[in-house]
A and B are shown apart, each in its own frame.
Chain A
Amino acid sequence: MTDITQENLEQMDRSEDEAQKARLKKAWKTPEGWRYWSAVNNTEVGRWYTAVSFLFFLFAGVLALLIRTQLAVPNNDFLSADLYNQVFTLHGSVMMFLFAVPIFEAFSILILPQMLGARDLPFPRLSAYGFWCFLIGGVFVCGSIFFQVAPQGGWFMYPPLSTQYHEGLGADIWLLGLSFIEVSSLAAAVELIVGILKTRPPGMRINLIPLYAWYILVVAGMILFAFPPLIAGDLLFELERLLGWPFFNPEKGGDPLLWQHLFWIFGHPEVYIIFLPAIALVAMIVPTAAQRPIIGYGWIVLAAVGTGFISFGLWAHHMYATGMPGISLAFFTAASEAVAIPTGVQIFCFLATALAGRFVHSVPMLFVSGALAIFVLGGLTGVMVAIAPFDFQAHDSYFIVAHLHYVLIGGMLFPVAAGLYYFYPMADGKQLSERLGKWAFWLMFVGFNVTFLPMHFTGLLGMPRRVFTYEAGLGFDLLNLISTIGAYIFAVGVVILVWDVVRPKKKQPHARRNPWNAGTLEWLVNMPSHPWSVRSIPIIKSRYPLWDQPNFIRDVDEGRFYLGDAAEEKRETLITSTIDARPIQCLRVPGPTFLGLWAAVFTGGVFIFSTYHWYVAALISGVLGLITILIWLWTGTALIPEKPAKDIGLGVTVPLYLSGDKSVGWWAMFITMIGNMSAFASLVFGYFFFWTVHEDFPPDPSQGPNALWSLVGAGCVLGAWALTLLARQANRKDRAAVFYGALILAALCCVAGGLALFAGPYSSGLDPKSHVYPATVWVLVLWSLVHLAVGLIMQLYCMARRLAGRMTAEYDIDIRNVALYWHFMAITATVTVVVIAGFPRMV
């Protein structure tokens, strides 16, 4: 592969080539010594992220072995009930929140830019911030078990058990620690969506992008609608636990089922958020193994997008036993059956590709085959439990334990192991051992089936889930023992896999370039890789450029495409148009900084100190966090370039700065606010949920929030919004006086609006502790108030930016993004007032 014909180059070209490489190297240099941890480049952050998620996986795996050891024989006393409940709660929570979801973010941060021929993702510091949040939150949650204060409400944390009956810190650790991690997932979603839509290489039109990118695009979109309901649920939950607002307490009008709805609106899509990225890895590995392009590219896009949508109509199939009306059961049964169709299509696309190709065997493909055998069975039992009547029996029994492990281990862990073997050379430049890989596979495959196949019968023989022990003689003693033996076999396989990864490989030669003879861009990588990842950003003409485009690697290596140089020694990557990937901007991405780490530490402080009710410390930490983030934004974003445009090679000149809906930052704000809106919508859903539950909800309008104050509040917020838009126009026309005047007035309106909104429920004496109605009104108002505070800071920030000369009429990213935020702020405040003050007068 390295057939670069240096002889043909002239001496001058060679020295120019060296000079360019030196400049690229300087720009993309990884910091050394203790400063290494300030790195933000996707290769470093991606590697840390992957390693840490795997550590959490191993931790949760050890917990699983504890569970199986306890259940090996009936009436066992290896673990106490109390400890067992902590162990199974953490096992589920850690696997789901600290491994299954983060591992996809980790892999994507690591390999997605390479697949897109990009030098980095558009917001490297955001990735780093997300990673540090993940690490801090994860260690906090996992650490709790060593002090015997781990959560013990199950990974689903159903109230009222975990709101009214668990007095320790466990539930708070779960809620606050994991909310913190959910924030980092949202950050990753923003990063990945913008990355896929805007940092593709020129020519990579929407019909040519790697299937992995399609899947990740869908999954990141799903995160925006799936995680916020849980964050909203967490907010209600913590307000009940810390302040006694009775959202789930039936004695004061609350309803435990609201939590179940919010949790599963998150929880079911989450299964697909876990599954789709793993199947995305398969979609990259199968064509390589078959040595031909995928058959049914369009069908796979159908599967990804279709699953993404339908997976939001399945949540209540986790609630079939809650006694909801038969017609509701029927809707969710129907949707749950429908989702099987897109899930099946992609499997047949892989089979068709394998059939039509010349199949090459490899360890990754072995894991893919194992994944298929396991997942198909899990999918089929999924079709079974989706039928409500069968689920009446299977629900909360070991049948479900078997089903979900078939789905998650077949649909996630095996593909991830395949991905690990497949992509390992990209990260390390070395191959993993084929011999150890085969051993690991067969032990894991056999161990898995020995563990979980019997559980189908254990469940149907009547063993419920989450029991710390069981009575002898009910028919499942032997089945449990077999499962335990299988779990240990499985664990040995995992240990071999881990050994293969961590064993010293100093003496092992580097892998050859493109070791699997793959067709996609990520295999341009050198072994070992350079920090700048691609020598030049290529023009793409095929779904498999390495197979189809002649002399492709040579042209890339000789810097014949775009951005082969870093003349200003700055980190740069190319921004292209969304549909057809035409170059539109040269984006300067920020380099190493500790700001992301500090911001994560301080944000973590807010959550962790709140857990222990150290509110002063939490407040201080919050203020420090805010300052850190402001410094980060001030010094690292929307920087005015030294020249308006830049020659990126091949005679193309593109701007260095774009604002409004052409800038990546605007898109990041837009996407974040979509997620924000879904959290808000969940709170509004809560209001109407209680309306359906209670006869007298909302009560007579006279007992509700003061209508006049609420209306004044909404009016002021709308005024602040209009003035912010005016300020944006004035800035563009460079009319400084109008700009400052409008923004100062907007800020005043914002404060007045906040006060008036507060006065609404306050003046009519609504006490959120007394009943769920005032609590629901207050939580909507509180949501608006917090967002107004953020909006106010943004307005002040824009004024300061212009004063400092960091924002001008032409370079106006800040005010454009703030105006966008205020659109959503206006919607939030209006909806809040219509619901709390308007709705009681309508019914």
Chain B
Amino acid sequence: MTLYTSRQIGLNGRHGGMIAPVIAVGGCDLHGPQSALSPAGVGAEQISSLFWWMAGGAVLIWAVVIGIALYATLARPRKKHDVQGARWLIIGGGIVFPTVVLTILLSYGLMLIPKLRSTGNVDLHVAVSGEMWWWRVRYTSPAGEPVELANEIRLPVGKRVSLSLTSPDVIHSFWVPSLSGKVDMIPGRENTLILEPTKPGTYRGVCAEYCGASHAFMAFRVVVMEPQDFEAWLTHQAQPAVSSGSPSARQGEQAFLVNGCGACHTIRGTAADGRVGPDLTHVGSRLSLGAGMLPNDAQTFARWIGHTQQIKPEVRMPSFGMLPEEQLTALATYLSGLK
């Protein structure tokens, strides 16, 4: 296992580019869409530099302790080591050194807590509710209207965002490793997480608290955009749905309403106003389907509607495999056209 660092690790985590060490472990790049070690937010930056400092220290301490152990068990000095010296080892290595190191580490850790949790100077509020097994997201539009979306969060770069995290069913945990640490979503409580993205890009978030059968399939994308792009996106999302109007899409809209999909899903601008499942007003514009599981294209959409239960065990939505093939295709065309 090789571990090589190409750049200096800095404790001051404000400048993401400075601190992200390019590291490969056994050929694996530490830059992933879900990596806590390639930070793109203030919280993640501070935590990842804390990690590198601690990891370096830990490796050093480990090597010294193991070195002493190997020396003690393998070396055969002619004269036995004297007991008094060994006692000093206990006091020095077992008491003085750890107390000093731990005091420093503790002080730094304690300093970091208010930094990561301070709810002051917030530019944007977003409410996220973790539900079995998807994410309900609520923005307030520039016009002050509530906008409900699902399974995708977009944030303006460089702004402090306060997320209010809740759950109506079981405990979930909201985690976008590249932006910051996780916070649980606990039924009956409301938690807050502060995000401050520093780099535009698309990141992956997941549910980190075991929440039942499809816990593994509860992901989402976070897109960090330039502020003006973000404003435009949010304004668009606040609009009602616009169908492409093609014959197939019209047939799909019919199928959607006739088959009772509207009992669970909302498509603003149509009669569908269900509140149980994700809002689908602009589902075609999202980056993934089934809460971060699948690529978003018409073919996959048809497969998802027809085989929901097989793809995502125990999900609340039944499989609509009994629908005729052309209805499924029409549904998929209609929905993926809702950009």
Residues of A within 8 A of B (CB): 80-82, 85, 154, 158, 160-161, 164-165, 250-251, 254-257, 295-296, 299, 321-323, 326, 329-330, 333-334, 337-338, 340-341, 344-349, 351-359, 361, 365, 369, 372-373, 376-377, 380-381, 383-384, 387-393, 395-397, 453-454, 457, 460-471, 474-476, 478-479, 482
Is the beta-carbon distance between A359 and B35 smaller than 8 angstroms? no
Q: Report B107-129 CB contacts with A as 1/0, cut-off 8 Å.
A: 00110111011000000000000
Residues of B within 8 A of A376 (CB): 61-62, 65-66
Is the beta-carbon distance between B82 and A356 smaller than 8 angstroms? yes
Choose from A383, A390, A464 the contact partner of B206 (Cβ within 8 Å): A464
* Residues 171 to 220 of chain B near chain A (Cβ within 8 Å): 171, 173, 175, 177-178, 180-184, 186-189, 191-192, 204, 206-216, 219
Is the beta-carbon distance between A345 and B95 smaller than 8 angstroms? yes
Choose from B26, B102, B314 the contact partner of A479 (Cβ within 8 Å): B26
Question: Does B269 have its Cβ within 8 Å of any Cβ on chain A?
Answer: no
Choose from A80, A251, A347 the contact partner of B313 (Cβ within 8 Å): A80
Cβ-closest 3 pairs across A and B:
A392-B181, A250-B188, A462-B34
A396–B185 CA distance with the chains assembled, in angstroms: 14
Is the beta-carbon distance between B214 and A395 smaller than 8 angstroms? no
Q: Report B29-59 CB contacts with A as 1/0, cut-off 8 Å.
A: 1111111110000011011101100110010
Interface residue stretch chosen among B84-92, B139-147, B248-256: B84-92
Pick 25 A–B contacts, CB within 8 A, sort by A.
Answer: A158-B171, A160-B169, A160-B171, A321-B183, A322-B186, A334-B106, A338-B102, A352-B86, A355-B81, A356-B85, A357-B80, A358-B80, A376-B65, A387-B50, A392-B116, A392-B180, A396-B209, A457-B28, A460-B30, A460-B37, A462-B34, A468-B215, A468-B216, A475-B35, A479-B28
Is the beta-carbon distance between A82 and B313 smaller than 8 angstroms? yes
Contact residues on B (Cβ < 8 Å of other chain), bracket: 35 or more
Interface centre among A164, A354, A454 (most CB of B within 10 A): A354
Residues of A within 8 A of B183 (CB): 321, 323, 392
Q: How far is the CB of B246 from chain A (nearest CB, A)?
A: 32
Residues of A within 8 A of B66 (CB): 372-373, 376
Question: Does B94 have its Cβ within 8 Å of any Cβ on chain A?
Answer: yes
Is the beta-carbon distance between B36 and A337 smaller than 8 angstroms? no
Residues of B within 8 A of A82 (CB): 213, 313-314
Interface centre among B50, B94, B180, B208 (most CB of A within 10 A): B94
Choose from B90, B170, B178 the contact partner of A295 (Cβ within 8 Å): B90
Is the beta-carbon distance between A323 and B189 smaller than 8 angstroms? yes
Is the beta-carbon distance between B61 and A326 smaller than 8 angstroms? no
Is the beta-carbon distance between B210 and A457 smaller than 8 angstroms? no
Interface centre among B173, B183, B209 (most CB of A within 10 A): B209
Is the beta-carbon distance between B30 and A457 smaller than 8 angstroms? yes
Interface residue stretch chosen among B67-75, B150-158, B270-278, B326-334: B67-75
Interface of A is mostly: helix
Choose from B32, B165, B189, B293 the contact partner of A462 (Cβ within 8 Å): B32
Given contacts A160-B187, A457-B28, A464-B207, A372 and B313 within 8 Å (CB-CB): no
Choose from B93, B177, B216 the contact partner of A467 (Cβ within 8 Å): B216
A322–B95 CA distance with the chains assembled, in angstroms: 33
Q: How far is the CB of B248 from chain A (nearest CB, A)?
A: 30
Given contacts A341-B98, A454-B25, A462-B206, A352 and B73 within 8 Å (CB-CB): no
Residues of A within 8 A of B25 (CB): 454, 457, 479
Given contacts A365-B73, A389-B50, A393-B44, A344 and B34 within 8 Å (CB-CB): no
Question: Does B324 have its Cβ within 8 Å of any Cβ on chain A?
Answer: no
* Residues 266 to 319 of chain B near chain A (Cβ within 8 Å): 293, 313-314
- Given A351-B69, A387-B106, A478-B27; 11 other pairs, CB 8 A cutoff: A81-B314, A255-B189, A349-B94, A352-B87, A372-B66, A396-B173, A397-B177, A461-B28, A462-B178, A464-B207, A467-B216
Residues of B within 8 A of A479 (CB): 25-26, 28
Is the beta-carbon distance between B169 and A361 smaller than 8 angstroms? no
Q: Which residue of A lies closest to B312 (CB)?
A: A81
Is the beta-carbon distance between A81 and B54 smaller than 8 angstroms? no
Question: Does B105 have its Cβ within 8 Å of any Cβ on chain A?
Answer: yes
Interface of B is mostly: mixed
Interface centre among A330, A349, A357, A471 (most CB of B within 10 A): A471
Question: Does B83 have its Cβ within 8 Å of any Cβ on chain A?
Answer: yes
Choose from A85, A357, A482 the contact partner of B213 (Cβ within 8 Å): A85
A588–B190 CA distance with the chains assembled, in angstroms: 61
A301–B71 CA distance with the chains assembled, in angstroms: 26
Interface centre among B90, B105, B175 (most CB of A within 10 A): B90
Residues of B within 8 A of A80 (CB): 313
A584–B49 CA distance with the chains assembled, in angstroms: 62
Is the beta-carbon distance between B34 and A299 smaller than 8 angstroms? no
Residues of A within 8 A of B82 (CB): 356
Question: Does B12 have its Cβ within 8 Å of any Cβ on chain A?
Answer: no
Question: Does B99 have its Cβ within 8 Å of any Cβ on chain A?
Answer: yes
Residues of A within 8 A of B51 (CB): 384, 390, 393, 460
A37–B129 CA distance with the chains assembled, in angstroms: 57
Q: Which residue of B lies closest to A160 (CB)?
A: B170
Residues of B within 8 A of A358 (CB): 80
Q: Which residue of B lies closest to A477 (CB)?
A: B28
Is the beta-carbon distance between B215 and A467 smaller than 8 angstroms? yes
Given contacts A158-B210, A479-B25, A469 and B73 within 8 Å (CB-CB): no
Is the beta-carbon distance between A390 and B47 smaller than 8 angstroms? yes
Choose from A351, A380, A474 the contact partner of B34 (Cβ within 8 Å): A474
Given contacts A474-B32, A475-B29, A351 and B65 within 8 Å (CB-CB): yes
Given contacts A377-B58, A377-B62, A457-B30, A389 and B94 within 8 Å (CB-CB): no
Question: Does B1 have its Cβ within 8 Å of any Cβ on chain A?
Answer: yes
Is the beta-carbon distance between B208 and A397 smaller than 8 angstroms? yes
Q: Which residue of A lies closest to B209 (CB)?
A: A396
Q: Which residue of B lies closest to A255 (CB)?
A: B188
Q: How far is the CB of B107 from chain A (nearest CB, A)?
A: 10
Choose from A254, A469, A475 the contact partner of B31 (Cβ within 8 Å): A475
Residues of B within 8 A of A251 (CB): 188
Choose from A334, A344, A389 the contact partner of B181 (Cβ within 8 Å): A389
Is the beta-carbon distance between A321 and B181 smaller than 8 angstroms? yes
Q: How far is the CB of A316 from chain B (nearest CB, A)?
A: 13
Residues of B within 8 A of A454 (CB): 1, 25-26
Choose from A255, A296, A321, A333 the contact partner of B110 (Cβ within 8 Å): A333
Given contacts A82-B213, A256-B171, A467-B216, A351 and B35 within 8 Å (CB-CB): no
Given contacts A333-B109, A454-B25, A474-B204, A372 and B58 within 8 Å (CB-CB): no
Residues of B within 8 A of A461 (CB): 28, 30, 32, 34-37, 177
Q: How far is the CB of A253 from chain B (nearest CB, A)?
A: 9
Is the beta-carbon distance between B113 and A388 smaller than 8 angstroms? yes
A255–B188 CA distance with the chains assembled, in angstroms: 7
A520–B205 CA distance with the chains assembled, in angstroms: 56
Q: Which residue of B lies closest to A453 (CB)?
A: B1
Q: How far is the CB of B182 from chain A (nearest CB, A)?
A: 5
Is the beta-carbon distance between B184 and A322 smaller than 8 angstroms? yes
Residues of A within 8 A of B34 (CB): 461-463, 474-475
Q: How far is the CB of A697 from chain B (nearest CB, A)?
A: 13
Residues of A within 8 A of B181 (CB): 321, 389, 391-393, 395
Q: How far is the CB of B89 from chain A (nearest CB, A)?
A: 5
Is the beta-carbon distance between B105 and A383 smaller than 8 angstroms? yes
Given contacts A158-B210, A474-B204, A348 and B54 within 8 Å (CB-CB): no
Is the beta-carbon distance between B170 and A165 smaller than 8 angstroms? yes
Is the beta-carbon distance between A256 and B188 smaller than 8 angstroms? yes
Q: How far is the CB of A827 from chain B (nearest CB, A)?
A: 33
Residues of A within 8 A of B313 (CB): 80-82
Residues of B within 8 A of A250 (CB): 187-189
Residues of B within 8 A of A466 (CB): 210, 215
A453–B1 CA distance with the chains assembled, in angstroms: 10
Is the beta-carbon distance between A387 and B109 smaller than 8 angstroms? yes
Residues of B within 8 A of A340 (CB): 98, 102
Residues of A within 8 A of B50 (CB): 387, 389-390
Residues of B within 8 A of A333 (CB): 106, 109-110, 113
